[in-house]
Amino acid sequence: MVIPTSRYNNAHHLADTSPSAIANSHSVFNAKSDICNQPEHVIQEIALGLNAKDYASFQLTCKYIKNSLHSFKSIHAQLTNNQSRQTLSPDYRRIDSDRLVRSLLKKDSQQDVILGLKNAKAAAPYFHARDLTYVDTNYLPSSIYEEDDTRIDAVIGACIDKMTTLRPSGEYLRFDREGFPDALWLSRIVIPHEEMNTTTLTEIFAVFNQVFNEKTGAERLIVARLADELKNYWYENPPNKIEKKEIAACASLYPRLLSVGKQAKSVVEEFRS
């Protein structure tokens, strides 16, 4: 629910003295008055259904609502505290992740990241193949003069290089941008199932989390998206002798990584490729 509260909007409505404009103005003020008189738990229920952008706007409706809600700083602090985060609604994790995704994409919404986020996936290389998992994305480099090692290559390569117990391989597909300007490039991690066990399972997600935390640009969202896609795919198609409960237990160790990956999938749909 979005309540218009800016002085400009209210002034605009009042400047028009037609009966319909006056009625509309009254309805706006009545709506604001009604929402500001709701019990605190109702205010919080409404807020927890919003994304980060609308949550921030909702906080500005009135002083009462602002005081009834956690600030973004408070939410993040509680989520990083092992004790306090147990008492928070899971929706706060979603809002915190949504805020990070939007912040990174606001600073950097180049086509390589946008396409990379939209096309991130995890799957078997072909139907019925059960001995490999491909974790990859297709994208276009930001410039036709992009060097061979793009930032998406680099972030995926960092994930591969940091895995020491499991030794996945990397695959990269390139096209001449002048000759094939719209051909999508590919960056891929190839995970062999024969080496999969609880130790290597833990290492994979630990490395994704490490690279996610080390990077500062929007390419870190690619790592989060791949981690979430891999978790979802393996939960439905467990590799080797790994059980679903082991995948769920491993995923529970990295709630922010996977929450950001899930929100990135949702938020990126707002951007055009």
Identify which has the larger pLDDT, 28 or 156: 156
Out of 9-23, 116-130, 193-207, give the one with best mean pLDDT: 193-207
At 127, the pLDDT band (50, 70, 90 cuts) reads low
**Burial of 32 from C-beta contacts in 10 A (0-12 / 13-18 / 19+):** middle
Which residues, including other chains, have CB under 8 Å from residue 29's CB and lie 6 or more apart?
A: 10
Looking at residue 22, its pLDDT comes to 37
pLDDT tens, residue by residue, 64-112 = 999 999 999 999 999 988 767 777 889 999 999 999 999 999 999 888 9
In this predicted model, which residue has the larger pLDDT, 13 or 187? 187
Dist CA 54 CA 102 (whole Å): 12
Residue 236 has which token pair?
């439905």
Sign of the C-alpha dihedral, residues 220, 266, 186, 180?
negative
Query: What pLDDT is attached to residue 146?
Result: 58
When pLDDT is cut at 50, 70 and 90, the band that residue 148 belongs to is low
Token code pair at residue 237? 């198609």
| pLDDT exceeds 60 at position 45 | yes
Query: Looking at per-residue confidence, does 169 or 13 come out higher?
Result: 169
What is the pTM assigned to this prediction?
Answer: 0.82
3-state secondary structure the chain: CCCCCCHHHHHHHHHCCCHHHHHHHHHHHHHHHHHHCCCHHHHHHHHCCCCHHHHHHHHCCCHHHHHHCCCHHHHHHHHCCCCHHHHCCHHHHHHHHHHHHHHHHHHCCCHHHHHHHHHCEEECCCCCCCCEEEEEEEECCCCCCCCCCCHHHHHHHHHHHHCCCCCCEEEEECCCCCCCCCCCEEEEEEEEHHHCCHHHHHHHHHHHHHHHHHCCCCCHHHHHHHHHHHHHHHHHCCCCCCCHHHHHHHHCCCHHHHHHHHHHHHHHHHCCC
Residue 47 has pLDDT above 50, yes or no: yes
Compute the average pLDDT of residues 12-41. Answer: 58
Please answer whether residues 134 and 157 qualify as being in contact, where contact means their C-beta atoms are separated by less than 8 angstroms.
no
pLDDT value at residue 142? 80
As a whole number, mean pLDDT of residues 28-36 equals: 64
What pLDDT is attached to residue 251? 94
Distance from C-alpha of 215 to C-alpha of 89, rounded to nearest angstrom: 28
In angstroms, the CA 224 to CA 180 distance is: 29
- Average of pLDDT values for 195-214? 96
Nearest to 52 by CA among 114, 104, 102: 102
Partner residues linked to 134 by β-bridges: 123, 190
Chain segment 208-264, per-residue pLDDT in tens: 999 999 999 999 999 999 999 999 999 999 998 899 999 999 999 999 999 999 999
Q: What gap in Å lies between CA 221 and CA 120, rounded to an integer?
A: 10
Task: Compute the distance between CA of residue 95 and CA of residue 91 in angstroms, rounded to an integer.
Answer: 6
